[in-house]
Structure 1
């Protein structure tokens, strides 16, 4: 019995949903924290690029709309092409800079720049300042345009770089180096406003060094102190809801299985039970049905075995009774001397029949043991079958049967147990000889393929009734059911099937419209 099939979510979908939800929230939290840290670093160490984000305001002379306050310790001042200051964020900056200083300030995208180096005059034993003026060519080559030398008091003592001046100030030297003062840098950017008027933007920002960067970075990373607890809180919340969902799903499954034990079926709440769990219930129900069916089959098999014991007991009782009667007649002296040989032969035949029945039963039971193994040895299977058929030929001819053999004249090497293979061939031929009339043709063929061999034993005799074809290889299906003579123990073909399985092969019976023969046994063996 199975649960009702309604639409419900899959357990895998539940797991995937919670996984992606957790991953998304975790990623979102990480991105927000990282974004906040980067923004803090960016605002702590702004460059002129930060101010150029407001290019539109600059071109429209809307300087008051630029939020310079969010950039710590930063200022800017705007000059026109005549050197007049149009706007400044700090009065002190305006007082400390003049239009004459603009030529010394490094341009943001300029192809010329100053370079300052400090040296020592070995002859005069005095400090010297060397200023060079370079220009980048179109091919990115660097060329020196001019230079000059300053003494320790910033007096120009050599060079034509500043030919109209005799000295530079300390502040001018700082501007050449890109420094506004000891703590801040300076840079300029030239552009044209929407009114085609030239503008010069001078931007002053904090100087970046290792200590200042490390200090700001440590302050920014403190945001993780707030993010980590949030991550742990999110993990706890997510784990709680996920475990609750799983427990509710398992609860439905558990209640349904427990109800099976009592023989009652409790309908699960399909809205709470994932699809896979309902399938598990279906499989559990199917398993119970199969167990019931297996129990019935086991009972039937037990009855068949009991019947076999009765049949074998009867078959053994008949020859043993004859033996006992003839033996008693000999003891009582009731047998004429002229009939002695006849009765002795009868005793011998009945004893042989009883022995054969016991040997067959013992052989089948032995092969059914889990520890039984075939003694596989490499040999020419084709030559082996030919030799066996040669030994059986006189018996086949005496019973007026026709034997047709199709085995190629080449070596067909494989691993097989010679004793078991002899038993297999003997059982198949004995069945054909026992249950078919005289004149029946028996065909034996062995075909070698790339990875396997096909052994066929077939005849054009009376065939097998269709009602038992499907169970002819089962044990205890006797000849009285399968054929017409009423002889046999019902274990011959079962032993054949077991021998094929011990050789890792496959056996099947073909009859009716599946073959051109009345009966065809097809055996497939791995090479």
Structure 2
């Protein structure tokens, strides 16, 4: 009987631990949801001015533009292009060449650099525009430029621009109004050949839809947390109910089994301390039935042995195979071929009877009193006799045997019937799982004081997922390969028989060249 472990917790301590555990769970869940919301927000809200792009110089130098994190840095609709010093597009099939004057007007991207554009009217009513690049703490990174309504430069200068009047395109890039809905930046770099290049970055401007999306993210986060909070409360209530009701239900089940004259398992009460005495009393009552339980197990063992004997006695040969019998009854078989058909029916019935033999034999091998009836036999002669009895079946199935058996006798202590079962199991598997025309290889050698028998074929092979457990009971191959499946005990029986002979059987992995499946059986010489 399993020893009952007393628990020292009171019901109050159970409540305290439950509250602490679920509070911790809620805190962790809140942190996880907050992290998710921040990650989703970071995809929507980007600030390229605050990013240092030098960490991507290796990608740009190798001109691997597809690896540039466009979505992360520029938003869902952002994009990039690469140009040379003349503004010719080298990358970015959706972008057109940028004139040199317009390229010079694109503001440089840099950390904490924010372009500002201010419009006002002078005393004469002319519209003037001030463009400046303000950095952190108000440090100017570019000389301010003042332009009139015709885009003429009235004050300041733009590096790379030789004209006094800007084109509409250049003005649009300078004032960040072209393309609409985007900020545009340029970032200088050199490729692997040392040629100067510009990376043009199109950063989406946060629109009302994005603000609505952010609001939706945080609203959804709050709703998820509230829903999770309610679920946690329900889970805590259910857990507490189970904590209390569980021992009571186990006691009820135990008493019911006792009333039905069954032997229940000892109850391991892990609930509050108040239930310990009740559970202890029940376990003491259950302990009184231990002797009866041992007797029941003894009877169960006898029943298993009886079933094994009955399966042996009930091995009535199946004398009629439906297809051939139907053909004979319908008079479809010529008289001269009737003996062949009857012989085939007999052979097939023996194979079907072998299924019962298999379960019976495995049951015998599992029994502690099982022993082999060994004699000193010539393994070469045993193998020849088996192959001679199997030759017609192999020929009818279209299988080609390749046999290498030495002329000298190889003596081993064998239980002939059991060892023939090993051969039959392996060869039958090869026939079941391989197509007609497969070559079966039988090679017997005497090596290092042992008889080494190789049984192989060049068929479809054994799937790798089955190779490591091929000798386990009830392991069968993939039904998609072959529908003629056995009991899954053949190789397990073979392994037990060979081991009982003092030998070994293994699936050689990988098989030798020319083989798809290779079994190797070794037996001590007599």
Shorter-chain TM-score range: 0.3 to 0.5
What TM-score results when the alignment is normalised by the length of structure 2?
Answer: 0.39
| TM-score, length basis structure 1 | 0.39
User: Which has the greater radius of gyration?
Assistant: 1
